[in-house]
Structure 1
Amino acid sequence: MDSPAVPAPLDPREQPILDRLLRTRDALLLIKQDKTSYIKSREVLPLYEEVISEVEQLNAVRKEKDRRLPHNRLDYVLDDCFQLISLLFLTVGRNNEAPAVYSLASTVQRLLDHLQEAGFYSSKDLSSITKTLANMRATLERCRYAYSPALLTLLESRLEKCQLLLEKLQSGLAQLSPELVSTYETLVSILRSTSAVNTRSKFSASEVNSLRDQLQKIQDTLVDGKFVGPDGQPLPGHDHAKILLERCWLWTEKVLEREGKIDERFQEQYERLVEIRNQLDRLSVTQAWSLRETDLFGYQRKLDRIDEARVNGNFVDAEGQTADIHAQRTLLYLIRRSYGYIYALLISSEPVSEALLPVHNQLQTLKRCLLEVKESGGVANSRELYPYSMKLNSIDNMRVDGKFYVGSDIPEGQGSVNALLAECYDIVWELRAAVPEEDDRN
């Protein structure tokens, strides 16, 4: 799990802290790996307290040190512990509490770093992250007096870094003329679509050529090599758009030339990243029924280690030689795509314990079906609502004193599941109320 290049702690006072954190991490991993029963808050909270205790001791040790010192093994193990605790909080349905923020904040920072490195991104990339950062800050503010100041300080520092980087990226897009925004976002989409074709199991030259046709249409709008407005003057930001257009041409040409084949020196890394990307893609499709948030830890760590193994931003082979432009961009695309999947899975996590997810998912499906019936014009008679009513009643009958029990436990997420149940009842009532009156007389 730990990179061999990570140094051990230099300060002997840090070694006992590392030893204790290693034991805590092992305990967290055991909880994560146990699929025989659902995870409970009472299993996670004592381990969270252990980690916080070690953080406070570590802060005391490092109080007078230079904070710019490189991370050692202790920092990486501590990060593992916080990542696991964060994902465990999500798994038990405590999404709106401070520890749950850690994993998402780490993923957002990775995404922003990669967007800055790529240099080309769309407003859609930033709008979701803007909303997510606001939600995370609201969570920290709400939990200010419920959790350790050591945790809150750590999370606030991370969110501040994300905010500064986000504002820097937003200022880059702000230089574009409004007339150029649509074209620019199309170019970003073409660049990414080309990379997607480049990493498919079966390469399709026709798809790349279709993307090049789109590029030609954009190229044809240039006047004397410039993006110009109605007055014939170059639009603000046209240089940036022109560079992106040229990059798209060069990348589609390179991809057609290589036909999806990567430099054999990086074949192993490529296959590992393709497998991670594909597994996360499958998870995103079946998420509601198969995702246990703690499962994301393994993907995060594999990606982090591959990402951190780069030298000055470049992938290098066993002999220290850098990758060519095709391998470099292909591997980076796969890493970024995978982080994007993890981000999407994290933000769509429901504040419901995994113990209640089967009921929650059934109600979500039932709600979707009822809304489709409503949008298609309702029902012809009340008998058509019997299957929905019977299913709702069967779920409702699972409650005891208004609560869903699993054994003797009352899992987190009761409010969310009860609210969903009430919504379904309301839709059924609306549909029944809209049945023609003559049906009632029959």
Structure 2
Amino acid sequence: MAVAQEELPILEALINIRNRLTALKMDRGEYIKPSDVNSLYQAVVKQVTKLNDVRDDNTTYSNRVDTTLADVFSLLSLFFLTIGKTRDAPATYSQIASMRQILNHMNESGVYNEVDLAPFQRRLKDLRQIVQSDAEGSKHNEALTKLLERQLNECDSIVRSLQESLSVLSPELAPIHLKLVHIRRQLAALAAKEGSHKAELKPLQEELRKIDSLKCLSLFETVTQNCSTHLYPPHNPFSTSSLFIIHLEQHRKRVDGKFLGPGGVLPSSQAICSSLLEECFDVAQEIKAQEESKNVPSSLKPIHDRLSDIRTELESLVLTHRWTLRETDLWNYSLSLQEIDKMRVEGKFVDSEGNRPSGQYVLLYILRRCYGLIYRLLSSSEPVSEELMPIANKLSTVKKCLNEVLKYGGPFNPRDLYPYQLALHQIDSLRQDGKFVGSDGSIPEGQGIVMAHLNECHELLEMLKESMDEAEDEYYDEDDDDYADTVSSEN
């Protein structure tokens, strides 16, 4: 859709804001100042207000203004996370966007169950509470609230759609579906691994063949008649263990490619399980083909290498994010993944001639894995500003050390505790009027968390001092007793 004439000044202003945000993101020379983020946020709100004035609420728009605005909000959201304002409405935008990407891929793959959807439901509820709380307090512009509510509603709609697709599963097919989802994930992970997979692939293929030969009795009937409560406790009737599938092997089979229920009745939701089973066989076959070729097809190799590099870097960040991650760094990874995702044609990666080479499952697995890692990093962001994070990390380390010393005990002397006292004294000296102050004189986010860590460290140190004093008292008491015994023996 072309940009309307009256929207051109807004587009120009948004591009300028995006450039300023990008420049601020790349500046590693100093910490990001909340005042800079707030001024850019106010500039965005101003443009959104103008945009709402020239647009019709009942019309759906999708042009360059919208894509640029999405970029700006994504970047701005990451900045809010970086300065520790994780409970502010703008900070939720990037998390909602990341969640929507994962949900869309889950919908596309069909590899999910109720357990997978539950965390997304809880997180959406938490994010909605943040947005509504800010709206009730008039903390942010109404236009932003509407935007976030719309994004949340879209995610809720996807989750409901996924739940509805699972609701048609009959009780007879539920355990088979759970098992197939589990196998499908194992196969996808196996496909993305390097080296030989014969030993790991064989048992998965055997399980698929067993499922392919099953005849669906009622699950509850089978559990009641044939399964001991020791193996299959009542609170977990949908056990997906291999033992469960093996036990039912003699009672189930497919006829004309369909699962049969008690009395030869066809349970509903045949398509879900049958298509998932066939897909599992396809992935297993592709893994075997890869074993023979040893590599991803050359036409997909650049994409594979790029995705592998991104995954490696993100997995490293998951381990070290407390010390090395600035949330705005995730912007580049998100952009790269979106670019790769857009290369797909009807869900498949194609070569220069429009063909669909093998190795699709490998690329999709790594792509979805990367999306999941970004979401994990966004969700684990703490309400502590970038400027206070080094102090929080240092206190966390000191606290762990003090807990270990307290756990294993002495003997130790005042010299042993001196490094911890010095570290806490250095941190205490950074405070002004009881607050940690930023380089620009502002009060960074996360004061409460850092102070809680600091107080806990002081308490642990006092406990160690008390235990040391008690040990000294016992030592002197023993000396006094020895001296008294010596005197009495001499007399």
TM-score relative to the length of structure 1: 0.86
Deviations 1:338-372 (A, max 9, x none): 11010000000111111111111122233344455
Aligned to 1:379: 409
Amino acid at match of 1:411: P
Question: Helix, strand or coil for the counterpart of 2:344?
Answer: coil
The structure-2 alpha-carbon separation of the partners of 1:231 and 1:381, relative to structure 1 and needing over 3 Å to count, comes to same
The Cα shift of 1:389 comes to 4.3
1:120–1:188 Cα contact (<8 Å) kept? yes
Letter in 2 for 1:204: S
| Residue 417 (str. 1) matches residue 410 (str. 2) | no
Query: Is structure 2 residue 130 aligned with structure 1 residue 139?
Result: yes
Which of 388, 407, 425 in structure 2 is aligned with 1:393? Answer: 425
**CA distance in 1: counterparts of 2:153 and 2:318, whole angstroms:** 29
2:361 to 323, 329, 336: 329
> 1-side partners of 2:17 and 2:162: how far apart?
38
> How far is 1:381 from its partner?
4.9
Letter paired with 2:156: Q
Residue 222 to residue 26, structure 1, CA distance change in 2 (3 Å): closer
Check 1:174–1:406 CA distance in 2 against 1; reply closer, same or farther (3 A cut): same
Looking at structure 2, the residues matched to 371 and 414 of structure 1 have their Cα atoms a distance apart, in angstroms, of 23
- Counterpart code for 1:421: L
Deviates more, 1:387-396 or 1:262-271: 387-396
Q: Which amino acid in structure 1 is aligned with residue 376 of structure 2?
A: A
**1:148 matches 2:148:** no
- What's the TM-score once normalised by structure 2's chain length? 0.78
- Deviation larger for 82-91 or 181-190: 181-190
Select 2:73's aligned residue among 75, 82, 98.
Answer: 82
Q: Distance in 2 between matches of 1:16 and 1:177?
A: 56
Larger radius of gyration: 2
CA distance in 2, matches of 1:175, 1:427: 55
Aligned-partner SS, 1:310: coil
Deviations along 1:240-297, whole A, 9 cap, x unmatched? 4565344333312311211352232222222222221221111112111110000101
Question: 1:311, CA displacement in angstroms?
Answer: 2.8
Q: Distance in 1 between matches of 2:472 and 2:210?
A: 63
Q: Which moved more, 1:231-240 or 1:119-128?
A: 231-240
Pairing 1:204–2:238 present: no
**1:108 maps to 2:108:** no
Listed one character per residue, the Cα deviations across residues 96-123 of structure 1 (whole Å, up to 9, x for unaligned) are: 1011111111001111111111101244
Distance in 1, Cα, partners of 2:64 & 2:378: 26
Distance 2:466 2:165 in 1: 54
Q: 3-state DSSP class of the match of 2:11?
A: helix
RMSD: 3.0
State the number of aligned residues.
Answer: 426
1:90-239 to 2 correspondences below 5 Å: 90-144=81-135, 145-174=138-167, 184-185=177-178, 187-200=180-193, 202-206=194-198, 209-214=199-204, 216-217=206-207, 220=210, 224-226=214-216, 229=219, 231-232=221-222, 234=261, 239=270
Q: Which residue of 2 aligns with 1:3?
A: none
**In 2, Cα distance between equivalents of 1:255 and 1:188:** 17
Determine the structure 2 residue equivalent to 1:345.
377
Task: State the identity as a percent.
Answer: 37
Structure 1: gaps spanning 5 or more residues = 1-6
Question: Following TM superposition, by how much is the alpha carbon of 1:418 offset from its aligned partner in structure 2, in angstroms?
Answer: 1.1
Alpha-carbon distance between aligned partners in 2 of 1:378 and 1:170, rounded to the nearest angstrom = 50
**Partners of 1:303 and 1:346 in 2: CA distance:** 15
Task: Output aligned runs, 1:268-307, within 5 Å.
Answer: 268-307=302-341
The farther-off stretch of 286-295 and 214-223 is: 214-223
Matching residue of 2:231: none
| 2:33 corresponds to | 40
Q: Which amino acid aligns with 2:409?
A: V
Q: Give the 3 Å change call, closer, same or farther, for CA 60–238 of structure 1 in structure 2.
A: closer
Aligned to 2:298: 264
Contact residue 101 and residue 136 of structure 1 kept, 8 A: yes
Inter-partner Cα distance in structure 1 for 2:166 and 2:418: 53
Contact 1:197 1:204 in 2 (8 A): no
Name the stretch that deviates more: 242-251 or 149-158.
Answer: 242-251
**Letter paired with 2:306:** R
Structure 1 CA distance, aligned partners of 2:420 and 2:76? 38
The residue type paired with residue 449 of structure 2 is: S
Q: Tell whether the 8 Å contact from 2:310 to 2:370 is kept in structure 1 after alignment.
A: yes
SS at match of 1:147: coil
- In the TM superposition, what is the alpha-carbon distance from 1:48 to its structure 2 partner? 1.0
Which stretch shows the higher mean deviation, 222-231 or 72-81? 222-231
Distance change >3 Å, CA 216–CA 360, structure 1 → 2: same
Q: Secondary structure at the match of 1:316?
A: coil
Moved more, 76-85 or 233-242: 233-242
1:143 aligns to what SS in structure 2? helix
Aligned partners of 1:277 and 1:337 also within 8 Å: yes
Distance 1:228 1:55 in 2: 56
| Cα distance change of structure 1 residues 362 and 218 upon mapping to structure 2, 3 Å threshold | farther
Rounded Cα–Cα distance in structure 1 between residues aligned with 2:404 and 2:370 = 33
| Cα distance in 1 between the residues matched to 2:13 and 2:156 | 33
Which AA in structure 2 matches 1:315? F
Alpha-carbon separation, structure 2, partners of 1:149 and 1:82: 15
Cα distance change, pair 115–434 in 1 and its aligned pair in 2 (3 A): farther
Separation in 2, partners of 1:182, 1:430: 53
- With over 3 angstroms needed to count, the CA separation of the structure-2 counterparts of 1:310 and 1:246, relative to structure 1, is closer
Cα deviation, residue 434, structure 1: 6.9
Q: 1:336–1:428: structure 2 CA closer, same or farther, 3 Å change rule?
A: same
DSSP-derived class of the 1:262 partner = coil
Query: Of the candidates 348, 351, 358, which is equivalent to residue 317 of structure 1?
Result: 351
CA contact (8 A) 1:111 1:336 kept: yes
Q: 1:423 to 1:167 in 2, by over 3 A?
A: farther
Displacement, 1:214?
4.4
Contact 1:227 1:238 in 2 (8 A): no
SS in 2 for 1:13: helix
